[in-house]
Structures are given as structure tokens and as C-alpha cells.
Amino acid sequence: MGGVIESTIKSNPMGRWYIELSDTMKEESMEICLDINEYAIKVEMMGEEYNGEVEVVWSSDENVTPVQINEVRQQIMLYESQIEAEKNSK
């Protein structure tokens, strides 16, 4: 059976976004990620327990702006294109 990882985009008082990760199968599992590279590493680590079979559920807090959400999306797309380029260069 796979796990479910909740990814919530949040904003600190300075207006900087971050992502809060939690494993819904465990009560005390929360991680904070300040960028997408850190996020990818932590999702992978959390997913190891489920043999990589995880569903990621996204949400955002009310105080997160559309600009911040777009920034996260752009970082994810850049990260994915870098991973794809690395695969293709091998």
C-alpha cells in the first residue's frame, strides 16, 4: 500500500514561501522545505518507506499569493527539466 504525502505551500511573515510536508499515515511527521531541491529529496526519503509508491496532495494556505504559487510551479518545472536532461545525457 502506498502513502499519501501532503504538500502545503505556506508563507512566512516576510513573504517568503516554503513547503510543509507531512506523511498522512504518521502523526508526528512534518518537514519544512525552503526550495524544490530540498522538497524533492525529502519526498523521496519519505517515499522510501512505501517503496516509492506515494501520492502527493497539494494545497496552499490562505495567505499564499498567486505569485508565490506560480514561483513554486516554475521551480518544479525547472527541476523536472533538469532531471530529464540528466537522464537524456546518459
pLDDT (0 to 100) of residue 82:
93
Q: CA 25: distance to chain centroid? A: 17
Backbone torsion region of residue 86, taken as left when φ is above 0, otherwise alpha when ψ lies between -120 and 50, otherwise beta:
alpha
Instruction: Indicate if the pLDDT at residue 77 is higher than 90.
Output: yes
Q: Identify residue 44 by its one-letter amino acid code.
A: E
This prediction has a pTM of 0.89
Task: Return the percent helix, strand and coil in the chain, to nearest 5.
Answer: 40, 30, 30
- Proportion of the chain above pLDDT 90, given as a percent: 79
Instruction: Indicate if the pLDDT at residue 78 is higher than 90.
Output: yes
pLDDT (0 to 100) of residue 89:
84
Q: By residue range, what is the domain housing residue 40? A: 3-88
Query: How many domains is the chain partitioned into structurally?
Result: 1
